[in-house]
Amino acid sequence: MTKKWTILKTAIAGVAIASFSAFSASAEEPKFAWYASTVHPYFDEVQKGVDAFAKDTGVEVTKRLGQDWTQDNQNENVAAMAAQGFNYFSIFPSDVSGAKGLYEELAERGVTIVDFGQATQEPTPAAFYVGTQLKQAAMQATEALVKSMGGKGNIINILEVPGENTRLRREGVEEVVAKYPDVNIIQTVGDLSTIEDSVEKVQNAIAANLGKIDGMIATGYTPTVAVAELLTEYHEQGGDRIHFFGIDTDAVVLDAIRAGHIDGTLAQNPYGHGYISMALLKMMSEGFKPVEGQHAIDAGVLTVTKDNIDNFQGEISDLTKGIINSLEGEYLTK
Amino acid sequence: MFMKRLRAGRIITGAEAGILGAAALLVVIFALASDSFLTQYNIFNLTRTQSLYMFVALSQAIMLVTGNMNLSVGAIAGLTAVTFGYTVDTLGLPWPLCIAIALGVSLATGFFNGFVMTKLGVNSFIVTLSTLFIFTGIVYGVSEGYSYRNIPAAFKTIGRGSFLGLPYLFYLMLGTLLAVWYMFRHTIFGRQLLATGSNAEAAELSGINTHRVIMGANFLSSLFAGIGGLLWVSRLGSAQPAIGENWLIISFAVAIIGGTALAGGRITALGLFAGGLIMVLIKNGLILVQANVYFEQAFLGSIILLTILLDRAREVWAKRTNRS
Amino acid sequence: MTLELSGIGKSFPGVKALDGVSTIFHPGEVHALLGENGAGKSTLIKAICGIHRADEGTIRLDGEALNLSSLGDGMAKGITIVNQEIQVFSEASIAENIMIDKLQLYRSGMGLDWQRLNRDAAAALKRVGLDLDPEAAIGDLSAAQKQLVQIAKALSRETKVLLLDEPTSSITANEVARLFALVRELRNNGITLIFVSHKLEEVLEICDRVTVLRDGHHVGTKPIAELDRDDIVEMMIGRKLRIEAFPRLETDQDTSALEVNGVSAPGLVDNASFTLRQGEVLGFYGLVGSGRTELARTLIGLYSKSAGTVSVNGEPVEIADIGEAIEKYRIGYVSENRKEDGLFLDFDIEMNMTMAMGKRLQNPITRAIDGKRQRRIAEELMSALDVRATGIEQRVGDLSGGNQQKISIAKWLAADCDILIVDEPSVGVDVGAKSMIHKLIWDLASTKGKSVIVISSDMPEIISLASRILVFKERRIVGEVPGLPEPGQSEDSVSQAIGRLMA
């Protein structure tokens, strides 16, 4: 059944692309599009960057959100947009390997693509990837956690659903921990896909190691929210101090930092993901070519703690500006 | 008198004894395998999660009893949670009123499901598959994926407080199960639910308005789902639109482990209690014994299957002894 | 081919269904297999075609001993059954239904040779006298056409022995004539035909030889020429005429429990009128689909009527649904399909008996089910109806057919019904239980003053039970015949009178 659907949808996408190419040969002027999987707070932040770019440059960007997180859905929607004549895309690939099929078809028709948020597996037709370097970010968060624990103690490593991204994050955490002989990972909890699941499993892990836990680290969005809620309750009810660093700046997480229940989180630069990816597309439409060997552009992450919680947004804007200024020369040439 | 009725199977039936036995066995195994198992913190959280599961399971079981199902239970929970969050946080209404509004919305979803099932005669699978998407869509349309964080502290104590070392939710679960037990054992409506699920034609020919019964089941199902959603909000401290996303499988698993017949006509409150307990025990135990995180689901599935096989074996054995 | 049975025996837990049955079925003959319900006919059929394996005895086909362990084995030997229930894949085409068991013959590369398949199916249809498009969906055909398609399916395979199990139970008189023409043709082609029916008129018309079973024993096998109707009945029931000695019920001509005037339901019943008197047993006789069950179900509000009036105890009423029929007007309906829509097989006796009581089971103050009263009612009915069970906690699905039937009647007694409609009271119950059920129904009318309608296609049953018999044909009541207790009547004269109305 599923397979049939996939075939059907691929066929539809193919027809759409073919019909687009029939009259796109004459359409030379660039049309810019931004596409994300479906409704999510992260995409809201990215859109702010895209909007700012449109305002700053006067370029018209058409933004679209899909209906769900599946690659099928993305294939249909993006193919339809390509058929409308869009030829410069900033895309969040729903499936980092599955999206390549779509990209390959688009690239054959001369469409230029930049990945944002997560990178399609290489080799990929995407010209650039703008986003967070997952492993580096995980390492940065772990360093911050170890520092908050005073360089020693036991930690629980909390992972999201198994996959390429989670593997990179896990490696990042483990590499940092390996540097500190007095820090140990006493338990790894995984496959946390929903908020309820995350709460239940982290709670079980706390119970399993009660009294022995000094810190926890989460490298995914959903588990971070769950742990922020959980530790708020845990510390309010008088539990021993457990240090924690997570990722992303969900309001729930920021609340917990302000109240002192968790130590900090890692702010990604979603604004930059939007702004930088659009800036790359615009420059390429003006004849710039990627510099050989350059593909991933780290939009940067910022450690957020109680100290900088009220002005970290400004620091992130500065990151974006720095990267925009370095695009010509470092990443693109004429 | 009590012992006689106990033995005659009128209080604990064989089916429940099997599941309760399996739950007890798991308790013993995990208590021996891990020192952390019988700690106050673990027991508190175990029973709290069990209580939450129970509302998830009840929302499905009540539909299964009538020979129908409800695939939209998680979406109803999410919608109830978001309604509560929206009214209490965005609109700033007093929280008891918000509870009433939220549960009103969940009952409305039950009415909608029931209306399409009975008046328009659409199969429950198809109806609730569609409404699963409809309700989820509304959840994200209203919340745009953001959570509501301004939840009154008084409301949070429902999901976080305890009495005699056990969470409030545990007592709420016990009370609810008692009510469910009473309904199926001592009320006409409970009996009509069972009859409709056991043989809908015979029920109709016995003068039971099966449409009304299925409508009632939908109301109860959505109510349990709504309460479950609200309790998750209270327990988390924020109204997350993602609440309910993982309910579907759990709702079937707990209900069926708990002895609810998939084909309808059978439910036991005590069995559901044991079913929920088994489910949390397995998940808890796997982490306590540091099972490999990547194989976790395989372990979970195997233990569920084993539990059910154990129960089947008991059934076959009981039939043999009955015959001889 | 000659099919020879010798000493066939088969036991089920607690019952000896067949005991030492020996007979010979000859090619080019239509051989009737007769017996009452529970006499062992269906067990014997199943043993012949391979569904059941006999415990004792041998089956020989042209001298070769058969050892069949499945229906497929039987088919491989050329033994085919056409079932009483017409089983088709209603979404599939006629051709697919005919060829479903021999698709391997039409394999062509990766798929099927549809052209050849449809051509052969068309030929098979022609053989049974049907001129239909083989690619049409079978679901739209009439019951008789489906029956003929089943035969076409059997014939399109090499068939030497063809069992027809109650082939006429759901088809009309014209269609029966057509079916019989086909049966005669097959006989002339040398096929061994085994014809199972309870309609003696048909047996007398079409069959060459008769084998009768009673209580699992072989009573005898005789050429039809040596027998008349009475002889066959005597062989089947073991005595000259089975007239249960129920005295005539004296009913007041003026009191009517139920009065029905010109009731119609589109496609189900046409303009039906009758009066059920207080304390009377009224019979509805007719074939399946003749409107008798349909009228009953319309009266209790299951089907909606398009015209006509109904009065209960002289008061005009509009019965909206079954709940109202039971609670307000005290009308109960014992369904003909006990297992499908009469009983809750998974529930215990107590719950089944009290299911139709509805709110009357509640304690008036607590609104809870009055458990004590429920137990008392169930226990009283258990002993009153002589239900054989381990106790009121026994699962109804584990009871015998006769006891199940008693429970379905008890349900309405518990609900305190004054008017009882009993549909096919003795289908699937054994001979002993049958007379107990008859006695029970008769007692309800004579001593409890209940007014009872008995729906049956079992002529002796209806003749002995009912004071008056309404005959149904093609959705209408075509006439009324006084029942047997009428002075100066014999069973023959009553059945002839019914037969005249049916013709």
Residues A275-297 have pLDDT tens digits of 999 999 999 999 898 988 888 89
* Two tokens, residue B130: 């569609």
Touch between chain B and chain A (3+ CB pairs, < 8 Å)?
Answer: yes
Distance of CA B259 to the CA centre of its chain: 13
Averaged pLDDT for residues A94-118: 90
- C397 or B182: which leads in pLDDT: B182
Instruction: Say whether B245 and A191 touch across the interface (CB within 8 A).
Output: no
In the predicted structure, residue A99 carries a pLDDT above the cut 70: yes
Q: What is the pLDDT of residue A2?
A: 46
Q: What is the pLDDT of residue B122?
A: 92
In the predicted structure, residue C262 carries a pLDDT above the cut 60: yes
What is the count of residue pairs from B and C with beta carbons less than 8 Å apart? 74
Sheet holding A215-218, edge to edge: A183-189, A153-158, A215-218, A243-247, A264-267, A302-305
B50-64, B120-134, B191-205, C119-133 — which is least confidently predicted?
C119-133
Q: What would the pLDDT profile of C377-404 be if each residue is shown by its tens digit?
A: 999 888 888 888 888 888 888 887 778 8
Which letter does DSSP use for residue C356 in this model? G
Distance of CA B207 to the CA centre of its chain: 30
In the predicted structure, residue C194 carries a pLDDT above the cut 90: yes
Task: Tell me which chain C residue has its CA closest to the CA of residue B198.
Answer: C344
In the predicted structure, residue A104 carries a pLDDT above the cut 60: yes
By the 8 A CB rule, do B105 and B79 touch?
yes
In the predicted structure, residue B225 carries a pLDDT above the cut 90: yes
Q: What is the pLDDT of residue B6?
A: 47
CA pair distance C498, C404, nearest whole angstrom: 30
CA pair distance A95, C254, nearest whole angstrom: 83
In the predicted structure, residue C164 carries a pLDDT above the cut 50: yes
- Chain B contact for C398, CB < 8 A? no
In the predicted structure, residue A15 carries a pLDDT above the cut 60: no
In the predicted structure, residue C435 carries a pLDDT above the cut 80: no
- Chain B contact for A229, CB < 8 A? yes
Interface subset of B 26-55, CB within 8 angstroms of A: 34, 36, 39, 41-42, 45-46, 49, 52
Q: What would the pLDDT profile of B65-117 be if each residue is shown by its tens digit?
A: 999 999 999 999 999 999 999 999 999 999 999 999 999 999 999 999 999 99
Q: What is the pLDDT of residue B7?
A: 45
In the predicted structure, residue C96 carries a pLDDT above the cut 50: yes
Q: What would the pLDDT profile of B256-281 be if each residue is shown by its tens digit?
A: 888 887 778 888 899 899 999 998 99
By the 8 A CB rule, do C367 and C357 touch?
no
By the 8 A CB rule, do A91 and A35 touch?
yes
Q: What is the pLDDT of residue A21?
A: 47
Which letter does DSSP use for residue C217 in this model? E
In the predicted structure, residue C442 carries a pLDDT above the cut 70: yes
Averaged pLDDT for residues C459-463: 81
Q: What is the pLDDT of residue C154?
A: 83
pLDDT tier at A144, thresholds 50, 70, 90? very high
In the predicted structure, residue A26 carries a pLDDT above the cut 50: no
Q: What is the pLDDT of residue A217?
A: 95
Q: What is the pLDDT of residue C100?
A: 83
Q: Helix, strand, or coil here: B226? A: helix
Listed in sequence order, the residues at least 6 apart from B154 whose beta carbon sits closer than 8 Å to its beta carbon are B95
Q: What is the pLDDT of residue C140?
A: 78
Average pLDDT, chain A: 87
Residue C466: what residue type? A
β-strand pairing of B162-163 with B166-167: antiparallel
Q: What is the pLDDT of residue A27?
A: 47
A42-46, B16-20, B70-74, C224-228 — which is least confidently predicted?
B16-20
Report angle CA C263, C269, C274 to the nearest 5 degrees: 45
Q: What is the pLDDT of residue A150?
A: 92
In the predicted structure, residue C341 carries a pLDDT above the cut 90: no
Residue corresponding to tokens 């319900």: C37
Q: What would the pLDDT profile of C47-95 be if each residue is shown by its tens digit?
A: 888 888 888 889 998 888 888 888 888 888 888 888 766 677 878 888 8
Q: Which of B187, B202, B204 sits opposite C369 (nearest CB)?
A: B187
Q: Could you give the residue ranges of the DSSP H alpha helices within C211-291?
A: 229-237
- The share of chain C scoring above pLDDT 70, in percent, equals 92
- Chain B contact for C321, CB < 8 A? yes
- Chain B contact for A209, CB < 8 A? yes
The DSSP string of A196-244 is HHHHHHHHHHHHHTTTT--EEEE-SHHHHHHHHHHHHHHHHTTPPP-EE
Instruction: Say whether B42 and A210 touch across the interface (CB within 8 A).
Output: yes
Q: What is the pLDDT of residue A90?
A: 94
Averaged pLDDT for residues C219-248: 74
pLDDT tier at C427, thresholds 50, 70, 90? confident
By the 8 A CB rule, do A114 and A272 touch?
no
CA-based nearest residue to A247, from A93, A322, A138: A138
β-strand pairing of A153-158 with A183-189: parallel
pLDDT tier at C241, thresholds 50, 70, 90? very low
- The share of chain C scoring above pLDDT 90, in percent, equals 18
CA-based nearest residue to C276, from C409, C394, C451, C122: C451
* Residue A207 with chain B: CB contacts under 8 Å: 36, 39, 41-42, 45-46, 284, 287-288
CA pair distance A332, A281, nearest whole angstrom: 11
B1-15, C98-112, C201-215 — which is least confidently predicted?
B1-15
Averaged pLDDT for residues C440-447: 87
ipTM: 0.81
Sheet holding C56-61, edge to edge: C15-25, C3-12, C56-61, C64-66
Averaged pLDDT for residues C111-136: 86
Instruction: Calculate how close chain B gets to A325, using CA atoms only, in Å.
Output: 33
Touch between chain B and chain C (3+ CB pairs, < 8 Å)?
Answer: yes
Averaged pLDDT for residues C7-16: 78
Which letter does DSSP use for residue C330 in this model? -
Average pLDDT, chain B: 88
Q: What is the pLDDT of residue A215?
A: 94
B10-14, B22-26, C336-340 — which is least confidently predicted?
B10-14
CA pair distance A162, C424, nearest whole angstrom: 63
- Chain A contact for B158, CB < 8 A? no
- The share of chain B scoring above pLDDT 70, in percent, equals 92
Average pLDDT, chain C: 84
Averaged pLDDT for residues A236-254: 91
Q: What is the pLDDT of residue C398?
A: 81
Q: Helix, strand, or coil here: B174? A: helix
In the predicted structure, residue C496 carries a pLDDT above the cut 80: no
CA-based nearest residue to C246, from C275, C293, C283: C283
The DSSP string of C79-128 is EEEE-SS----TTSBHHHHHHGGGGGGGEETTEE-HHHHHHHHHHHHHHT
Averaged pLDDT for residues A41-54: 91
- Output the pTM of the full model: 0.78
* Two tokens, residue B33: 């395998």
Letter string b/e over residues C55-83, b meaning 16 or more CB atoms within 10 A of that residue's CB: eebebebeeeebebeebebbbebbbbbbe
Instruction: Say whether B204 and C361 touch across the interface (CB within 8 A).
Output: no
In the predicted structure, residue B24 carries a pLDDT above the cut 70: yes
